[in-house]
Structure 1
Amino acid sequence: MELPKSARVVIIGGGVVGCSVAYHLAKLGWKDVVLLERKQLTSGTTWHAAGLIGQLRASSNMTKLARYSAELYRGLEEETGVATGLRQVGSVSVALTEERREELYRQAAMARAFGVPVEELSPKEVKERYEHISLEGVTGGVWLPTDGQADPANIALALAKGARQNGALIKERVKVNAISRSGRRVTGVDWASDDGTAQGHIACDMIVNCAGMWGHEVGRMAGVNVPLHACEHFYIVTEAISGLTQMPVLRVPDECAYYKEDAGKFLLGAFEPNSKPWGMNGIPDSFEFDQLPEDFDHFEPILEAACSRMPMLAEAGIHTFFNGPESFTPDDAYHLGLAPEMDNVWVACGFNSIGIQSAGGAGHALSQWMDSGEKPFDLGDVDISRMQPFQGNKHYLFERSKETLGLLYADHFPYLQKKTARGVRRTPFHHHLLEQGAVMGEIAGWERANWFANEDQEREYRYSWKRQNWFENAAAEHTAIRTNVGMYDMSSFGKLRVEGPDAEAFLNYVGGGDYSVPVGKIVYTQFLNNRGGIEADVTVTRLSETVYLVVTPAATRQADQTWMMRHKGEFNVVITDVTAGEGVLAVMGPKAREVLQAVSPADFSNAVNPFGTAQEIELGFGLARVHRVTYVGELGWEIYVSSDMAGHAFEVLHEAGQAHGMKLCGMHMMDSCRIEKGFRHFGHDITCEDHVLEAGLGFAVKTAKPDFIGRDAVLRKKDEGLNARMVQFRLTDPEPLLYHNEPLLRDGEIVGYLSSGNYGHHLGGAMGMGYVPCKGETPEQVLASEYEIDVAGTRVKADASLKPMYDPKGERAKV
């Protein structure tokens, strides 16, 4: 067997995703593209996929990628001569509860905002679209006419042929059994033929891990963390059914089922609530087009409900009972991008049963990223850097994977918390908060108090699309922060220590702010990319002449540290994650100063500790450092205390707060307060594709500095003018709730969607943020329009503002 001695890129894995990456790189003109498949192309998961092609995903960019996939597959047959079997049959999703109907109608509204054709259906209209369904219990549905179905294996083979036609080398029955590394780079792969007759080494500039359910192990070989786990996925195919003609895809998520008509037969598949992880001891080396043992008892409840929902199923014989493995990630989003641990290891795997509809777009986006060195648009939903190191733990993955498969068809309620593999990361105040009634949520593995239950109240979520059982609790916490004083735990926020003789120069290069400031000064800032987009939203505190503390959102700590590491260059600095070293309590509200003065002899006056400065203090019997900043828009301090003294600090502050009516608060309060204040939320309101000036954050960018990443793009935008502006909205009707992605209408026309939403308890209505296109317009022209928000199909009038609706001059934090 002859293989090249070197390549520009080696792609590991010949499923539909690997073939898509090879195809798109070759289309971009890349030479020396080599794809190695351990057995035959498609022989892992692709060959047995159901082949559903959906147009609508949970965010605008994920929808963009899904739509690209469908468009690509339509043209592949003409390009390659390989039939993809793509049929645009449409899809019907059906609700059996009022809550599910609201979810589907909200999804329909979102589809309108994203430009996807959609129609809400009454039960009668569901029957008109899908004649064979029983309407027992049906409350409504949605129709997506551009959805479809296709032949998964043939899509992969068409992509492979297209890749070969453009110069890529694809080799089957070649297994990568080792990956050589030097520092933060891979240097090549060792391979062996399936029959053991040949072996060799390919030196390469980079690799792409497209190994599907083997992705975790391939990642380990390359020195990177790829958290995913295989689960059993069941479906049946019936015998031919007389009179069954081409039908739309049908989804009945309340019964965990989907239906696909194919050649006069039904395929019935399941996403059951409690799934079965597989391959805990590794996947057999011989695995190729394999099926897993049948488990009819596990599938029977789904089939029983399906026979009632689709009466013709009860009369049909079962031709095939299939069980095959697919890989699932801890958060049900796939892994894409440059692995944070290495500088030339790319990842595209863990597709959570949507690999066929995602592969075209994922390969397209990844190839553009690899070619240009920058993300083509925001990929935060799937960027591999969102994963935390501990999430590669196999026991964690085993437990979490029991839940994630079923979550695909579970109600996607706002604020839904995962139930499995919880309690991994706890702040120093964890048990104190639980003693006081905290109800925990989880982000990046951190257990965080989201809200506090009253003494006689159950300590758990009751989910709904309406006001949930904690709504009044969060309102009371919100009121405490606005009118009195509250305390909440911010320990989970990332803390990155940047130190060394070049620390000031390095930060002035990597960040948009000015870090040539006195010791103790706090700078709110962004890290920008070369397009002026926002890669990170952080606060930077100068601790000494050579040391800064960069504070990041909990979920982006790894990504933000990686961004700095990749731009360190020749700067003499060390970047260290010290998140777990300090607990952080925020004391916020008009009486915050009184509480701190009760526990410390330090001076908290504006003269000594003005807004935007930090100081070391005595607190109780211990020591702490206080940062006078706020994400809730009130007077307050973030109190940093070493983990060993954290328990003492909590007890001292909590006891002192009782005299002032201080209330313990959670993360839901923080988000509702910040949206009233118009503060941006990274990952929603601001991303790598949102220009810092259009986001309204130009005040944080200091272009007088001679050289920093994104400076030219900021200056260009100042000359060219803004194409969009971030606008804050408040519904005039106090009843509806906003979350995010609701369509935004200007003078009756959809112009965008909300990037984030919450309830403004102080202002008395649901609040949202969103970008309004405004090329050539003045701020006055933007605000002169009438605005509405589409809430599950109902248009609700909204007030609009470019300044924060709460405390527009920012005076309350500086008193």
Structure 2
Amino acid sequence: MTELPSTAKAVIIGGGIIGCSTAYHLAKLGWTDTVLLERKKLTSGTTFHAAGLVGQLRSNANITQLLGYSVDLYNKIEAETGLGTGWKMNGGLRLACNEERWTEVKRQATTAHSFGLEMELLTPKEAQDLWPLMDISDVIGAAFMPTDGQANPSDITQALAKGARMAGAKIFEDTKVTDIEIEDGKIRAVITEHGRIECEKVICCAGQWTRIFAGRFGVNVPLVPMEHQYMVTEPFEGVPSGLPTLRDPDRLTYYKEEVGGLVMGGYEPNPIPWAKDGIPQGFHYSLLDSNFDHFEQLMELALGRVPALEHAGIKTLTNGPESFTPDGNFIIGEAPELKNFFVGAGFNAFGIAAGGGAGMALAEWVKNGEPPFDLWSADIRRFGRPHFDTDWVRTRTVEAYGKHYTMAWPHEEHDSGRPCRKSPLYDTLKDQGACFGEKLGWERPNWFADAAKGETPKDVYSFGRQNWFEAVGREHKAAREAAVLFDQTSFAKFALKGPDALAAMNWICANDVNKPVGSLIYTQMLNNKGGIECDLTVGRIAHDEFYIVTGTGYATHDFDWIRRNIPEDMNCQLFDITSSNAVLSLMGPKARDILAAVTRDDVSNDGFKFGTIRTIGIAGCPVQALRVTYVGELGWELHLPVEYAQTVYAALREAGKPHGLINAGYRSIESLRLEKGYRAWGADIGPDHTPFEAGLGWAVKLKKDIPFKGRAAAEAQKAGGVKKMLACFTTDPGVVLLGRETIYRNGKRVGWLTSGGYGYTVGRSIGYGYIRDPEGVDADYVLSGDYELEVATERVPCNVQLSPLFDPSMSRVKT
């Protein structure tokens, strides 16, 4: 073999489609001293046995964009390299066989329109005309995406590898990586069986081997291998060469044409995990034994759709392991545990569809230190403590696999691996009717059932108003008229301490945190493009210490962002203290009366002003009280040591009885914050949105001569104006808004809703979304248009405004 280079700019581990695509894109970006190492042969891990369907639509705009990039690349890579890829843009069909599935498909079509994709709704006969082999007796309708297609996984990977070599990258097969040399927390080299390559950056694209390999270096990659089977038939009469791919989710199956025959596979509800005790040594170009008994359930469902399969000869039943993840999305990005260690893995059997775009995004992330656009839903930092346990990961992944083709219900919760992380009030709240949801392993009350009204604390899913709608309305009403108590123990909480804590925070935060001790500051943290990386609350509790509170799901991400952006010459340390403190949020117009009844401290408006943090005493407990709100009402977040939670909760409940205090959950928080216009990170705001686009420019310290990360971009945008602006939309209460509905201004598509819900005080359905115009957008532009929302392909009129719907200082409601 050719001798390994002694140095490289970046080393990619793994020669499947993701590794080869990353090498191709890094070389195209000018990193010609990129080296890819494959322990055996290219594609010999899991790529070679992939089914090769390429669909584009996902529920996230940027993941859809990434998959669309794959299609664009596959359209041209054969001409560029001269290697055939088997790529055919033959379109993709998706069937609906019951009314709720048809509603889901129509909502998917609207999502496609929101993201600029063409998706046509078809009658059963129109679908059959495109796919004449199928029986349509149970079909209600179908959707057709003309730009979907299929590819030969091995061929397209080889084309990407050739393109990478043509651009200057070096690829070495039969070169096993045995170790990574790390010194003082920094990557120094990759060690192989054939020698050492000095490098600073490592990109691990090792498929199902990634979790075990990365774990050796403290990096957590939550994926596990699962058996995945598909059948390839002999050629048989009536199979057109241009047949679209077909997904039949109600029968859990998918199909594509293959040399005059069909490939048929699916996602059974009782999947089989593989390699529980580790992947066998030497496993490459290897398949598992065909499991006809297990595949029979899919075969029976398929025969009802394609009767001709009964007489078709079976060429193979391919059983190949694929890596799957606990939430069904892939894993990409720089590991929070090890600088310059990047991961691209866990593609849940859509690695071919994602391969081109994921390689592009990973290459740009490696080169630029940040992704080309917000990839939060696939970011490795979306995981947390439960994901270190492989058994927990496998349990949740089995459920996610089994739901691959089941209905994607709004507000659906996972059932497996629960309960995992519990607040000290879990049992108490459960006894009081709490229906829990789960986030990052935490059990969190979503709503409370009233047994006297015949309610049961269990979600019943639908695309209409769900069974908790009235219960959440009660909680919402109590928050607006009396008081409610939220258990928000799952909040992520950090402490930053040290002589340079203030200097570090003022560099990382867009708002000015140089406030007196006892101040509470709402702030964003920006990237170099001015995008919002974190959205959180910062309390200054000493001259050299800050208390930082952020959302449950952002614990890993936000901790990583803060830690990485503390300048190296500054002396301060960041600690995750999430598990130390319980949080009870007391909110509502009667909150002060209740709090005053349980503490001797002055909680009057003058004595405890909004935007301050102070330690008060309640029932023998030192409580860190934060005067802040996310629901638009008077209130406090009460942060206290976990061992006091039961005592303080009981004291508040007793004091609240004469004031109408009740328990409330996260679904009412969502309804309340929509009315008040508070933004949600990961939906309304994120790395692709700036404070000025999101209506949060007031929280950026541009009037002060203080340098901070993202300042230059913020200044440029403030001077030059914005091309998109977040607005609030309201429509008829009978219209269910979920997010991703298309926004039309004067008949022209201008964006989509980032979040949606219902406002019980205003009696309207509420959505937020960005109105876009490449020529620029301002308040007059937003307010001068006539607007409609497309909801499940139907357009409905709506009103638009930039100010909050609800303001307690102005007789409660603004319209």
SS at match of 2:734: coil
Distance 2:206 2:801 in 1: 48
Task: Determine the structure 1 residue equivalent to 2:579.
Answer: 580
Distance 1:597 1:579 in 2: 27
Residues 298-349 of structure 1 deviation map (CA, whole Å, 9 limit, x = unaligned): 1111111110111111221222111110001111111111111111101101
SS at match of 1:381: helix
Distance 1:657 1:689 in 2: 42
Distance 2:309 2:500 in 1: 70
Structure 1 counterpart of 2:807, one-letter code: D
Structure 1 counterpart of 2:498, one-letter code: G
Structure 2 counterpart of 1:693, one-letter code: F
- Structure 1 residue 810: deviation in Å? 8.3
Alignment of 1:238-257 (within 5 A): 238-246=233-241, 247-257=243-253
SS at match of 2:176: strand
Instruction: Tell me if 1:723 matches 2:734.
Output: no
Task: Determine the structure 1 residue equivalent to 2:734.
Answer: 735
- Structure 1 residue 617: deviation in Å? 1.1
Note if contact 1:180-1:222 (Cα within 8 Å) is conserved in structure 2: no
Distance 1:587 1:383 in 2: 33
Against the structure 1 CA distance between its residues 778 and 68, is the aligned structure 2 distance closer, same or farther, given a 3 Å change threshold?
closer
Instruction: Tell me if 1:487 matches 2:485.
Output: yes
Structure 1 counterpart of 2:403, one-letter code: L
Structure 2 counterpart of 1:206, one-letter code: K
Ranges in structure 2 where 5+ consecutive residues have no aligned partner: none
Note if contact 1:186-1:222 (Cα within 8 Å) is conserved in structure 2: no
Residues 156-201 of structure 1 deviation map (CA, whole Å, 9 limit, x = unaligned): 1000111111111111111112112123322112211xxxxxx322
Residues 538-570 of structure 1 deviation map (CA, whole Å, 9 limit, x = unaligned): 000111111111111111111111111111121
Alignment of 1:317-466 (within 5 A): 317-455=313-451, 456-466=454-464
Alignment of 1:110-509 (within 5 A): 110-192=111-193, 199-246=194-241, 247-455=243-451, 456-509=454-507
- Structure 1 residue 712: deviation in Å? 1.3
- Structure 1 residue 778: deviation in Å? 4.0
Which moved further from structure 2: 71-80 or 452-461?
A: 452-461
Residues 73-125 of structure 1 deviation map (CA, whole Å, 9 limit, x = unaligned): 11111111110111111111011121111111101011111111111122233
Distance 1:705 1:637 in 2: 32
Note if contact 1:514-1:705 (Cα within 8 Å) is conserved in structure 2: no
SS at match of 1:599: coil
- Structure 1 residue 663: deviation in Å? 1.4
Note if contact 2:113-2:119 (Cα within 8 Å) is conserved in structure 1: yes
Task: Determine the structure 1 residue equivalent to 2:784.
Answer: 784
Structure 2 counterpart of 1:220, one-letter code: G
Distance 1:751 1:372 in 2: 30
Give the fraction of aligned pairs with identical amino acids, expressed as a percent: 44
Distance 1:756 1:811 in 2: 26
Distance 1:183 1:437 in 2: 51
- Structure 1 residue 812: deviation in Å? 7.3
Task: Determine the structure 1 residue equivalent to 2:630.
Answer: 631
Task: Determine the structure 2 residue equivalent to 1:51.
Answer: 52
Ranges in structure 1 where 5+ consecutive residues have no aligned partner: 193-198
Task: Determine the structure 2 residue equivalent to 1:802.
Answer: 802
Task: Determine the structure 2 residue equivalent to 1:513.
Answer: 511
Residues 371-409 of structure 1 deviation map (CA, whole Å, 9 limit, x = unaligned): 122221111111111111430311112212211212221
Of residues 544, 558, 561, the one that matches 2:559 is 561
- Structure 1 residue 495: deviation in Å? 0.4
Structure 2 counterpart of 1:82, one-letter code: L
Task: Determine the structure 1 residue equivalent to 2:677.
Answer: 678
Residues 217-253 of structure 1 deviation map (CA, whole Å, 9 limit, x = unaligned): 1211332111100000011111211121121111111
Note if contact 2:386-2:440 (Cα within 8 Å) is conserved in structure 1: no
- Structure 1 residue 128: deviation in Å? 2.7
- Structure 1 residue 655: deviation in Å? 2.3
Structure 2 counterpart of 1:567, one-letter code: N
Task: Determine the structure 1 residue equivalent to 2:71.
Answer: 70
Which moved further from structure 2: 181-190 or 641-650?
A: 181-190
Which moved further from structure 2: 311-320 or 580-589?
A: 311-320
Note if contact 1:723-1:773 (Cα within 8 Å) is conserved in structure 2: yes
Note if contact 1:730-1:767 (Cα within 8 Å) is conserved in structure 2: yes
Task: Determine the structure 1 residue equivalent to 2:527.
Answer: 529
Task: Determine the structure 2 residue equivalent to 1:15.
Answer: 16
SS at match of 1:559: helix
Distance 1:663 1:687 in 2: 33
Note if contact 1:257-1:270 (Cα within 8 Å) is conserved in structure 2: yes
Task: Determine the structure 1 residue equivalent to 2:596.
Answer: 597
Note if contact 1:489-1:584 (Cα within 8 Å) is conserved in structure 2: yes
Which moved further from structure 2: 450-459 or 333-342?
A: 450-459
Distance 1:744 1:809 in 2: 31
Distance 1:713 1:191 in 2: 43
Distance 2:94 2:156 in 1: 25
Task: Determine the structure 2 residue equivalent to 1:3.
Answer: 4
- Structure 1 residue 811: deviation in Å? 9.1
- Structure 1 residue 656: deviation in Å? 2.1
Distance 1:369 1:478 in 2: 42
Distance 1:174 1:285 in 2: 15
Number of equivalenced pairs: 806
- Structure 1 residue 808: deviation in Å? 8.2
Task: Determine the structure 2 residue equivalent to 1:196.
Answer: none
- Structure 1 residue 741: deviation in Å? 0.9
Task: Determine the structure 2 residue equivalent to 1:109.
Answer: 110
Distance 1:653 1:183 in 2: 49
- Structure 1 residue 22: deviation in Å? 0.4
Note if contact 1:633-1:812 (Cα within 8 Å) is conserved in structure 2: no
**Regions of 4+ moved over 6 Å:** 808-813
Note if contact 1:423-1:445 (Cα within 8 Å) is conserved in structure 2: yes
Note if contact 1:634-1:812 (Cα within 8 Å) is conserved in structure 2: no
Note if contact 2:733-2:758 (Cα within 8 Å) is conserved in structure 1: no
- Structure 1 residue 791: deviation in Å? 0.5
Structure 1 counterpart of 2:751, one-letter code: G
Distance 1:778 1:277 in 2: 53
Structure 2 counterpart of 1:129, one-letter code: L
Task: Determine the structure 2 residue equivalent to 1:770.
Answer: 769
Residues 691-734 of structure 1 deviation map (CA, whole Å, 9 limit, x = unaligned): 11111101111111421011111111111112111101111x21
Structure 2 counterpart of 1:128, one-letter code: D
Note if contact 2:633-2:808 (Cα within 8 Å) is conserved in structure 1: no
Note if contact 1:88-1:149 (Cα within 8 Å) is conserved in structure 2: yes
Distance 2:779 2:638 in 1: 38
Note if contact 1:635-1:812 (Cα within 8 Å) is conserved in structure 2: no
Note if contact 2:627-2:635 (Cα within 8 Å) is conserved in structure 1: yes
Distance 1:654 1:136 in 2: 58
- Structure 1 residue 672: deviation in Å? 1.1
Task: Determine the structure 2 residue equivalent to 1:80.
Answer: 81
Note if contact 1:275-1:401 (Cα within 8 Å) is conserved in structure 2: no
Structure 1 counterpart of 2:650, one-letter code: E
Note if contact 2:326-2:394 (Cα within 8 Å) is conserved in structure 1: no
- Structure 1 residue 809: deviation in Å? 6.6
- Structure 1 residue 287: deviation in Å? 0.7
TM-score calculated relative to the size of structure 2: 0.97
Instruction: Tell me if 1:710 matches 2:718.
Output: no
Distance 1:406 1:234 in 2: 14
Note if contact 1:24-1:163 (Cα within 8 Å) is conserved in structure 2: yes
Structure 1 counterpart of 2:504, one-letter code: F
- Structure 1 residue 776: deviation in Å? 4.3
SS at match of 1:160: helix
